[in-house]
Chain A
Amino acid sequence: MNRPRLALIAATGVAAAVLAACGGGSSDVAGAGNQAGGKSVGTLSLYAYAVPKPGFDKIIPGFNATADGKGIAFQQSYGASGDQSRKVAAGAEADVVNFSVEPDVTRLVDAGLVDKDWNANQYKGVPFGSVVTVVVRKGNPQGIKDWDDLLQPGLEVVTPNPFSSGSAKWNLLAPYAAKSDGGQNAQAGLDYLGKLVGDHVKIQPKSGREASEAFLQGTGDALLTYENEALFLERSGEKVEHVTPPATFKIENPIAVVNTSKDLAKAKAFVAYTFTPAAQKLWAQAGFRPVDPAVASEYAKDFPAPTKLWTIADLGGWPSVDKALFDKEKGSVAKIYDAATQ
């Protein structure tokens, strides 16, 4: 009875392989390790949201060129901000995280994976950012210059659904802050959003990139997005231009060290590097607004200053804004979206 035994051994082998494959989880996206300076002295795993990839493509070689970063390889994973945050919360091994909105970091603080003082530095843990802007067709046929111009009869606006994309909340906070005078007159802000979402927003893409894609394929007359995305679209030769309304909103994208990192010193060094003047210049070259004042003034012509730039702090910070506007049951914006599709 040789044959059955052979089969048994083979089957056991298959089963073992299957179980091993289930057990041995590895990172899902392996970025190209940067082997600057020959031998690798360690690997940092970066979980970031999708948009700043062009920035990190410059920042990582820049870090590798410093004494601290010599020979460190990077495993990079990019995706939707909320998804990335949930992955790390669920146990994906990350050393450094970079998200679109602060609540995605707060999720990890609550899970004990990020220290409570992650935003203790002078820039509140935000190495780069952007502003909310309006992308229009080449030549701006509708003459869109300010938020009220989006309410022209029959004009269609494309913006992602804030409940399927946390990052899309920025787009709605901009007109809300402008119309409510920084939250002083909340009703005026909500009235504007009610008109905008009810009469002018038709499709509800899941993410900023999908919204861009739909707009480029001819949907709508205006696209609400971040300045860096607008610059990216223009630089890749699309027939669009962007108009930043006089009063808009500051987008702040936080970075943090995961405290379970096996190489905490290196992770901290990398995060610290992203705030250095050298790195700030790289962010600016990739289309993101630097936070270092000296570098910002150097690149002032690329990033014109709006008349009024509201911040999330002006509205009372993310926890209260999320609760008042974006709570899925009671939030004012949730109600506006519900009413819009009845």
Chain B
Amino acid sequence: MTSALLTEPTPPPATSGRGWRGRDGRGGGGRASITGAVGPLGYGLVTLWLSVIVLLPLAALTVTSFENGLSGWWDAVTAPSALAALKVTVGISLVVAVLNAFMGTLIAWVLVRDEFPGKGAVNALIDLPFALPTIVASIVLLSLYGPQSPVGIHLNATQPGVLVALAFVTLPFVVRSVQPVLIEADRDVEQAAASLGASNLTIFRTVVLPVLLPAVASGAGLAFARAIGEYGSVVLIGGNIPRHTQVASQYIQQQIEVDSPVNAAAVSVALLLIAFVALFVLRVLAGRGLRRQERAA
């Protein structure tokens, strides 16, 4: 819903693995001058676009959420049911982000470093969760892992069910941000380390991971931000049980239905703040990592 608006360009840009040639950070810029600046016209366009798409809606939302003053906002966000929904949402989203960091990196690794038949198809599959309407995802997940599960996995109306739904819709983030970095990564250093007798684990820890970490962090951050705002995919498999599987977006919908738009906006702004803080912290950490790398180089 809202979190998708928070996607900031993070180094490196998350494009699909194929056709990524951006070593200088200015891929296919065309007629940019030596410094790479776009001039006042570019600034104007960017400002206009960001205003229309991001700033105005978010400002309007924020203004609405403070209609009853700061204390009203605080009361709305700290109401027991709101707090419970936020806790459930943030808790499960954190687990999903960490899970994605591991599995996404692994998937990217397999797609870049291994050859197997049907690799192209798998690579194309990764983006499908973005294309599938989320409510359809929820129906599919419920029929697969619900009471009539053909595979004997019953996750209906449980927190693991919510987790699976969130993991499904956030799958592409880490994979797509790690992939291009892996493609660009310098294999010579790894080979040198190996020839000097370093074990696979040591090579990964000291050579590969530092390069990948910023990409993993930014991908996980995006996955987290997307997960806390997710609605459609959770709807059926989650069961919407307050204090157990009700996520914040479902709570927000309920507030709108009982004609409390201000409460709904307040909780939305709380979600935005959480997403913003998470992305900000990750960027700071990733920036530090990069600087440390540059010093080491």
**Chain A stretch 184-225: residues in CB contact (< 8 A) with chain B:** 202-206, 210, 213-214, 217-219
Chain A residues closer than 8 Å to B48, beta-carbon distance: 15, 18
A82 at the interface (CB under 8 A from B): yes
User: CB within 8 A of A210: which of B156, B157, B236, B254?
Assistant: B236
Is B147 interfacial (CB-CB < 8 Å)?
A: yes
Return the chain B residue nearest A158 by Cβ.
Answer: B239
Cβ proximity bits B213-253 to A, threshold 8 Å, 1 near / 0 not: 00000000000000000000001100111111010001001
Residues in B neighbouring A119, C-beta threshold 8 A: none
Which of these, B39, B240, B243, B257, contacts A203 with CB under 8 Å?
B240
Min CB distance A211 to B, Å, is 10
Q: How far is the CB of B195 from chain A (nearest CB, A)?
A: 53
Residues in A whose Cβ lies below 8 Å from that of B45 = 11, 14-15
Closest 9 CB pairs of A and B: A218-B147, A203-B239, A218-B148, A341-B242, A164-B254, A204-B240, A328-B258, A217-B146, A203-B157
For the complex formed, measure the closest distance between the CB of B15 and the CB atoms of chain A, giving whole angstroms. 23
Chain B contacts with A in 239-295, Cβ cutoff 8 A: 239-244, 246, 250, 253-254, 256-258, 260
Distance in angstroms between the alpha carbons of A4 and B49 in the assembled complex: 19
Which residues from B are CB-within-8-Å of A130?
Answer: none
Question: Do B157 and A11 have beta carbons less than 8 Å apart?
Answer: no
Least distance between B157 CB and chain A CB atoms (Å):
5
A202 and B241 contact, Cβ closer than 8 Å, known pairs A164-B254, A165-B257:
yes
| CB–CB A342/B243 < 8 A | yes
Contact B240 A164 (CB under 8 A): yes
**Chain B residues within an 8 Å CB radius of A15:** 45, 48
The number of chain A residues with a CB under 8 A from chain B is 34
Taking the nearest CB of chain B, how far is it from the CB of A13, in angstroms?
11
- List residues of chain B with CB within 8 A of the CB of A11: 41, 44-45
Q: Which residues of B contact A82 (CB under 8 A)?
A: 256-257
Which of the four size classes fits the interface of chain B? 20 to 34
> Which single member of A4, A8, A217, A338 contacts B148 (CB below 8 Å)?
A217
In the assembled complex, A166 has its CB within 8 A of some CB on chain B:
yes
A204-B49 Cα distance, complex, nearest whole Å = 40
**Once bound together, how far apart are the Cα atoms of A163 and B258, in whole Å?**
6
A334 to nearest B CB, angstroms?
Answer: 9
Asked if A22 CB lies within 8 Å of chain B CBs, one says: yes
Give B residues with C-beta under 8 Å from A: 31, 39, 41, 44-45, 48-49, 52, 81, 139, 142-143, 146-148, 156-157, 235-236, 239-244, 246, 250, 253-254, 256-258, 260
Residues of A contacting B254 in the complex (Cβ-Cβ under 8 angstroms)? 161, 163-164, 206
Known interface pairs A8-B41, A18-B49, A328-B258; A202-B236 also in contact (CB < 8 Å)? no
In the complex, A67 has a CB within 8 A of chain B: no
Residue-wise, chain A 226-252 has the 8 Å CB interface mask toward B (1 for contact) of: 000000000000000000000000000
A11 to B31, CA, bound (A): 16
8 contacts between A and B (CB under 8 A): A7-B41, A11-B44, A15-B48, A22-B52, A202-B157, A205-B236, A218-B146, A218-B147
Instruction: Give, as a whole number of angstroms, the nearest-CB distance from B236 to chain A.
Output: 6
Which residue of chain A has its CB nearest to the CB of B142?
Answer: A217
Q: Which residue of A lies closest to B251 (CB)?
A: A164
CA distance A7 to B30 in the complex (A): 14
Given contacts A164-B257, A165-B257, A217-B148, 5 further A-B contacts (CB under 8 A): A82-B257, A161-B254, A203-B156, A204-B242, A219-B147
Cα distance A213–B81 in the bound complex, in angstroms = 26
B41 touches A202 (CB 8 A): no
Contact A161 B240 (CB under 8 A): yes
- Give the number of A-B contacts (CB < 8 Å): 89
Q: Are A214 and B142 in contact (CB under 8 A)?
A: yes
The answer for the CA separation of A22 and B48 in the assembled complex, in Å, is 13
- Which residues of A, 1-56, contact B by the 8 Å Cβ criterion? 3-4, 7-8, 11, 14-15, 18-19, 22
| A4–B148 CA distance with the chains assembled, in angstroms | 63
Contact pick for A206, options B241, B244, B253, CB 8 Å: B253
Tell me if A341 and B240 are in contact (CB < 8 A).
Answer: no
Residues of B within 8 A of A8 (CB): 41
What separation, in Å, do the CA atoms of A86 and B261 have in the docked complex?
11
Contact A203 B41, CB 8 Å, known A18-B48, A164-B254, A219-B147 = no
Complex Cα spacing A102 to B44, Å = 49
Contact with B along A47-84 (1 / 0, CB 8 A): 00000000000000000000000000000000010100
Return the chain B residue nearest A215 by Cβ: B147
CB distance from A200 to the nearest CB of B (A): 14
* C-alpha spacing A158/B161, complex, angstroms: 18
A82's closest neighbor in chain B, by CB? B257
Give B80 Cβ to nearest chain A Cβ, in Å.
Answer: 9
Residues from chain B with a CB closer than 8 A to the CB of A7 are 41
Bound Cα distance from A204 to B247, whole angstroms: 12
Most buried by B among A3, A15, A165, A214: A214
Q: Which residues of B contact A342 (CB under 8 A)?
A: 243
Kindly list chain A residues whose C-beta atoms are within 8 Å of the C-beta of B31: 3
List A contacts of B236 (CB < 8 A).
205, 210, 213-214, 217
Assembly CA distance A205 to B157 (angstroms): 10
Identify the closest chain A residue to B147 (Cβ).
Answer: A218
Task: Please name all residues of chain A whose beta carbon is closer than 8 Å to the beta carbon of B157 when the two chains form the complex.
Answer: 202-203, 219
B136 CB to nearest chain A CB (Å): 11
Q: How far in angstroms is the closest Cβ of chain B from A282?
A: 30
Cβ contact within 8 Å between A206 and B235: yes
